[in-house]
A and B are shown apart, each in its own frame.
Chain A
Amino acid sequence: MAMNGTNDTPGAADADCGHSIEELQEYLETGESPASAHIDTCPECQSGLAALRRLRALTGDLISADVEEAEKEELPWLDGLMNNLRLETRAGRRIPLSTEDELDSLFITEGAVTALVRAVGDTMEGVLIGKCRIQGDVDAVGSEITLDIEIAAFFGYPLLPMAEELRREVRGVLALQTELLVGDINIRIVKIHEHEIQQGGSS
């Protein structure tokens, strides 16, 4: 098998047959090599490949052991970190609210609306709210908007009643808390979780 000299490996300990560790590693990772015909029959390359396989397996073991070790300790900074992140809000667009005085300017943020939608979903069993998008011209007071909501459902909860319930609840909460004129609420089920969930309390 002819080898061109373009993939020299500086500093690599080449086997006597002229093939480098790097070539063997690439063959191991991709299953392909310009020199595969040679490698498949060369005893030296075969023993090099075997050693690289052992190294790879051992590396996997080392990482697993490291992760196991890392899992044993708590994350003492977790609460502080999360509190800091909470301050970095994702506000999104401003949705104006009507005011009695023209000089006032009141608004609710898009982020606050999607948080409301999530809060509604989180009070229902068997459903998790995912991505939530408000479509439409939110800047114009009184213009109709569309809500696109992605949800994950959990196994055992009938989907249609769940979606209807969710629509009803979302519509109710948004009517109570915002001035949005909510048109369509499109619900897209992106995932069904098959296992049951451990409930935190009795229901």
Chain B
Amino acid sequence: MDNGVQRQPEASGGSVPRDVVGDAVPSESTMAPPTGATAGCHPRRSGSGRTSDGDARAQRQSRAGMLEAAEDAFLVDRAVDGDVAAFEVLVRRYAPLMRAYARRVTGSASDADDVLQEAFTQAWRQLADLNDGSVVKSWLMKITGHRSIDLLRRRREYVPVDESYDLADVAPGPEYAAAASSQMAALRHALDRMPEGQRQCWLLKEMGAQSYDEIAAQLGISSATVRGRLARARTTLMKEMEEWR
């Protein structure tokens, strides 16, 4: 029974098989194997039976390498279907950016990692609601911002307000400080000293790329207040920076 190959009804007299209706099919000339590989697709599993342990390990590594090359939307599709391995590739891909963001907002390295775990768990549960997998990066950043603000809010219920959280545990080492420009040091310093409300607005806007309305909803303030805080934050940062020019 050879109904293994179904072909599309001939559309325009050509014989384009249904398989190749993707968006990036190379032309005939580029379809040749690059290094004299033989035809066929080299199934690792030969007809003879089970794979050896070594083969299985190589296979896993090879698959991990292939997943890492895959695009966000593709990994999202797989993850929505339940593939944890695909989701893990997304986690590794965006954890550094999300961690950097959460550290700035929460001011603490350990809180930031708590935020990341919460954010990824939420993302896994809600991934099917994401209509366009190619925007998963900004979607993850939005969740990270939300979770960071939530954590600050929760923490405030237990800790006196005037107890400050310094960034000592995330401060870069001396080798880094030496390489950084004095302007960047000034920016860090100015950010750290900024009133928290302004800093949150600025971070949600500049790192989280959120809109005024989104920031307003998240912080429970009006859009006009967000605008005002952002304007003051920018003015302060510009002044501090200009002093270092």
Query: Which residues of A are at the interface with B, using a C-beta cutoff of 8 A?
Result: 9-13, 20-22, 25, 51-52, 54-55, 58-59, 61-63, 65-67, 69-71, 75, 77-78, 81-82, 84-86, 88-90, 111, 114-115, 118, 122-132, 150, 152, 154-165, 167-169, 171, 184-193, 195-203
Contact = CB atoms under 8 A, between A and B. Distances in A.
B78 A129 contact: yes
Contacts, number: 262
Contacts of B101: 66
A187 B5 CA distance: 10
Given A22-B231, A85-B87, A165-B41, A131 B183 contact: no
A118 B83 contact: yes
Nearest to A75: B95
Contact of B70 (A81, A115, A152): A152
Contact of B61 (A52, A61, A184, A201): A201
Contacts of A62: 184, 187-188
- From DSSP, what is the main secondary structure of chain B's interface residues? helix
Interface stretch (B51-59, B146-154, B155-163): B51-59
A188 B23 CA distance: 10
A160 B19 contact: yes
List of 9 A-B pairs having minimum Cβ-Cβ separation, nearest first: A200-B61, A201-B58, A12-B231, A66-B100, A189-B22, A131-B77, A90-B82, A162-B41, A10-B228
A70 B99 contact: yes
Contact of A51 (B65, B88, B241): B241
B62 A114 contact: no
Contact of A84 (B24, B33, B99, B121): B121
Interface of B: 4-6, 17-26, 30-31, 33-35, 37, 39-45, 51, 54-55, 57-67, 69-71, 74, 77-78, 80-84, 87-88, 91-92, 95-97, 99-101, 103-104, 113, 116-117, 120-121, 124-125, 128, 170, 172, 176, 180-181, 183-184, 187-188, 206-207, 224-225, 227-232, 234-235, 237-238, 241-242
Contacts of B96: 67, 70-71
Given A165-B43, A189-B22, A78 B78 contact: no
B228 A11 contact: yes
